[in-house]
A and B are shown apart, each in its own frame.
With several copies, the nearest count.
Chain A
Amino acid sequence: MAYVDSDFRAHYFEMLRRKRLYSGIVLAIFVLLLASGFLLANDRNAGGFLQGMPQVLDFPADVVADAAPKVAELPAHLVTYFPALLETVNIAAVSTLAGGVLAIFVSLLSTRGLARFPRPIPVFRRFMDLCRAIPEIVIALILIFVLGGGPVPAMIAIAFHTIGALGKLFSEVNENADLKPVEGLSSVGASWMQRMWLGVVPQVAPNWLSYALLRFEINVRASAILGFVGAGGIGYELKNTMSWGQGKFDEAAAIFILLFLTIVVFDQLSSAVRNRLTHGRAVL
């Protein structure tokens, strides 16, 4: 037993050396990329990082200075802009709903073992990749051109992106679904819809719901942003008041407060529900 094959030692030291080397190289590359990237960006920017740092708070200070004396009008502004906020939330909700439902189908059709037709699985997967890769703003801008401004282009754009984003997450969930119940249902002569609805959905629905809530939260933000390019909602109002600048910062502040509260509320709400879904009793 005292005899130790020196190969094991040599082998281990060799591995140790290689690992240190690799992690050293990876670290060096990362630091190099970060540093050179920063310097480059700093150089291409109008203002440098160091000169800018002391002024970071200037803009918020301006906003506060303008809004503070008019704080009495704040509640009125909140009321004025509430419908716009509602529109933003509606855009997010509809697009999450529509995108989510389509994502369910696409994800089922692109999961091995569940797909109705096994052959076109790669087609559906590429389709999801494509949906994910196109930024919402691109679709929204084009649709605004064709359909005119308003909430519908934003809704379609976000829904389209949602199909891709949720479709991918859903199919990951589906892949982990237990196929035994599905087989059990096959053996009684159930159709594809029945197998999916009764065999798969009960297993995966809590996870789907949890991801959909997360997406909803992201979509609220996305729909606010699309307002910046003319897709309606609170983002549009925010952009107009923000760019007016001095004189309308009180309205900007009101809108900002609305938007921020909404995002925080939905964030907290969705993480509370998700926690319940994953840890506690499920709803289905």
Chain B
Amino acid sequence: MLAIEGLTKRFGTNTAVDAASFTVDEPRMIGIIGASGAGKSTMLRMINRLTDATEGRVAFEGRDVLTLRGKARRDWQSDCAMIFQQFNLVPRLDVVSNVLHGTLGRRSTLATIFNLFPREDIHRAIDILARLGIAEHAAKRAEALSGGQQQRVAIARALMQEPKMILADEPIASLDPMNAQTVMEALRRIHEEDGRMVIANLHTLDTARRYCDRVIGMRKGRIVFDGAPELLTTGAARDIYGAGADFSEEATSTEIREREPYAEAALRDAEATV
């Protein structure tokens, strides 16, 4: 249903995404991993048409995504929801309004400007919020919520779009582990219950392994790994992160275990001086 061929993006001389190709035949939960700057965000942004591609083709159920213009392009964006690392909600607006923004692509500009959202949309928004367990915050301002709650509002907005596909750009990178888990679980549940395709950029191997059906690894703009999470050995990870033999998986983990030796060293120093 999604076919990407030779997708390329160049910023000046810097090639952010370099002839990436892959196809997805049925709704899957896909994780994209790679070091910072590997081109993960750029790829998702091109698929959603937030950024224009330099070359290549993206086809979704027969639609030639990259050539869409104007209304057709906005329709595509409304079919292809996007979730961001920083949530990208309107912080000063209440939660329901933020969720209702998911329908903007479909409603007339004038009506939305005067806040004329149909009643059933409002009900649906509440239902979605309830499903994500944050219905009681519906009337609060988005900025008053915790990070994990805000990300769930963003997911609610995405669901409101009734999208065929959800793109998530490092959805848990700014969350603490507790919230990260809630959010990843929500995404997984949506994938399973609604059968929507989910493509998520992730920055830790363990998250990708835990939640995804398929993992794509990128390095310097190229796809260097594509397979089931079980195939993601330490060797494969080394290739993706371009690390040497001293690579240890923890270097990409959110758990900051590596600080321990340091603290011990400091203690030894301190004892030496005392």
Do residues B91 and A1 form an inter-chain contact, with CB atoms below 8 A?
no
Kindly list chain B residues whose C-beta atoms are within 8 Å of the C-beta of A9: 122-123, 126
- 20 A-B pairs with C-beta separation under 8 A: A5-B136, A8-B129, A9-B126, A12-B122, A12-B126, A12-B139, A13-B122, A15-B94, A183-B50, A185-B104, A186-B50, A188-B78, A188-B82, A188-B157, A189-B73, A189-B76, A191-B104, A194-B112, A198-B93, A198-B101
How far is it, in angstroms, between the C-alpha of A187 and the C-alpha of B96 when the chains are bound?
Answer: 18
Do residues B135 and A181 form an inter-chain contact, with CB atoms below 8 A?
no
How far is it, in angstroms, between the C-alpha of A189 and the C-alpha of B104 when the chains are bound?
Answer: 7
Do residues B74 and A191 form an inter-chain contact, with CB atoms below 8 A?
yes
How far is it, in angstroms, between the C-alpha of A198 and the C-alpha of B109 when the chains are bound?
Answer: 11
Across the interface, name the chain A residue whose C-beta is closest to B100. A198
- What's the minimum C-beta distance from B129 to chain A, rounded to whole angstroms? 8
Which among A4, A185, A188, A191 is the interface contact of B126 at CB below 8 angstroms? A4
Across the interface, name the chain B residue whose C-beta is closest to A15. B139
Tell me if B241 counts as interface (CB < 8 A to partner A): no
How far is it, in angstroms, between the C-alpha of A202 and the C-alpha of B101 when the chains are bound?
Answer: 14
Q: How many residues of B contact A (CB 8 A)?
A: 44
Do residues B135 and A203 form an inter-chain contact, with CB atoms below 8 A?
no
How far is it, in angstroms, between the C-alpha of A270 and the C-alpha of B62 when the chains are bound?
Answer: 57
Chain B 59-104 interface residues, beta-carbon cutoff 8 Å to A: 73-78, 81-82, 84, 86-94, 96-97, 101-102, 104
- What's the minimum C-beta distance from B184 to chain A, rounded to whole angstroms? 18
How far is it, in angstroms, between the C-alpha of A251 and the C-alpha of B201 when the chains are bound?
Answer: 69
Kindly list chain A residues whose C-beta atoms are within 8 Å of the C-beta of B122: 9, 12-13, 16
Do residues A203 and B84 form an inter-chain contact, with CB atoms below 8 A?
no
Tell me if B8 counts as interface (CB < 8 A to partner A): no
- What's the minimum C-beta distance from B62 to chain A, rounded to whole angstroms? 19
Q: Known: A12-B139, A181-B91, A198-B93. Contact between A188 and B102, CB under 8 A?
A: yes
How far is it, in angstroms, between the C-alpha of A208 and the C-alpha of B113 when the chains are bound?
Answer: 18
Tell me if B223 counts as interface (CB < 8 A to partner A): no
Kindly list chain A residues whose C-beta atoms are within 8 Å of the C-beta of B139: 11-12, 15
Tell me if B4 counts as interface (CB < 8 A to partner A): no
How far is it, in angstroms, between the C-alpha of A188 and the C-alpha of B105 when the chains are bound?
Answer: 6
Tell me if A122 counts as interface (CB < 8 A to partner B): no
- What's the minimum C-beta distance from B266 to chain A, rounded to whole angstroms? 20
Kindly list chain B residues whose C-beta atoms are within 8 Å of the C-beta of A12: 96, 122, 126, 138-139
Across the interface, name the chain A residue whose C-beta is closest to B105. A189
Do residues B101 and A8 form an inter-chain contact, with CB atoms below 8 A?
no
0/1 interface trace, chain B 257-268, chain A, CB 8 Å (1 if under)? 000000000000
Tell me if B48 counts as interface (CB < 8 A to partner A): yes
Closest 10 CB pairs of A and B: A189-B105, A184-B88, A189-B74, A189-B77, A187-B82, A189-B78, A180-B88, A190-B104, A181-B90, A202-B92
How far is it, in angstroms, between the C-alpha of A48 and the C-alpha of B268 when the chains are bound?
Answer: 80
Q: Known: A11-B139, A198-B90, A199-B90. Contact between A187 and B112, CB under 8 A?
A: no
Tell me if B131 counts as interface (CB < 8 A to partner A): yes
For chains A and B in complex, what number of residue pairs have CB atoms within 8 angstroms?
Answer: 113
Kindly list chain A residues whose C-beta atoms are within 8 Å of the C-beta of B77: 186-189
How far is it, in angstroms, between the C-alpha of A39 and the C-alpha of B157 when the chains are bound?
Answer: 47
The majority secondary structure among interface residues of chain A is helix
Which among B88, B90, B92, B135 is the interface contact of A282 at CB below 8 angstroms? B92
Do residues B104 and A198 form an inter-chain contact, with CB atoms below 8 A?
yes
Tell me if A178 counts as interface (CB < 8 A to partner B): yes
Which among B76, B113, B115, B138 is the interface contact of A193 at CB below 8 angstroms? B113
How far is it, in angstroms, between the C-alpha of A190 and the C-alpha of B126 when the chains are bound?
Answer: 21
Do residues A193 and B109 form an inter-chain contact, with CB atoms below 8 A?
yes
Tell me if A197 counts as interface (CB < 8 A to partner B): yes
How far is it, in angstroms, between the C-alpha of A186 and the C-alpha of B74 when the chains are bound?
Answer: 8
Tell me if B204 counts as interface (CB < 8 A to partner A): no
How far is it, in angstroms, between the C-alpha of A185 and the C-alpha of B104 when the chains are bound?
Answer: 8
Q: Known: A188-B102, A191-B74. Contact between A8 and B88, CB under 8 A?
A: no
Tell me if A50 counts as interface (CB < 8 A to partner B): no
Chain A 171-213 interface residues, beta-carbon cutoff 8 Å to B: 178, 180-181, 183-191, 193-194, 197-199, 202-203
0/1 interface trace, chain A 117-128, chain B, CB 8 Å (1 if under)? 000000000000
Kindly list chain B residues whose C-beta atoms are within 8 Å of the C-beta of A5: 130, 135-136
Do residues B86 and A190 form an inter-chain contact, with CB atoms below 8 A?
no
Do residues A1 and B86 form an inter-chain contact, with CB atoms below 8 A?
no
Chain B 34-61 interface residues, beta-carbon cutoff 8 Å to A: 48, 50
- What's the minimum C-beta distance from A209 to chain B, rounded to whole angstroms? 13
How far is it, in angstroms, between the C-alpha of A268 and the C-alpha of B126 when the chains are bound?
Answer: 43
Tell me if B154 counts as interface (CB < 8 A to partner A): yes
Tell me if A284 counts as interface (CB < 8 A to partner B): yes
Which among A16, A178, A186, A194 is the interface contact of B91 at CB below 8 angstroms? A178
Tell me if B149 counts as interface (CB < 8 A to partner A): no
Do residues B135 and A8 form an inter-chain contact, with CB atoms below 8 A?
yes
Which among A4, A190, A284 is the interface contact of B135 at CB below 8 angstroms? A4
Do residues B92 and A184 form an inter-chain contact, with CB atoms below 8 A?
no
How far is it, in angstroms, between the C-alpha of A4 and the C-alpha of B102 when the chains are bound?
Answer: 20
Kindly list chain A residues whose C-beta atoms are within 8 Å of the C-beta of B112: 194, 197-198
Kindly list chain A residues whose C-beta atoms are within 8 Å of the C-beta of B109: 191, 193-194
Do residues B50 and A187 form an inter-chain contact, with CB atoms below 8 A?
yes
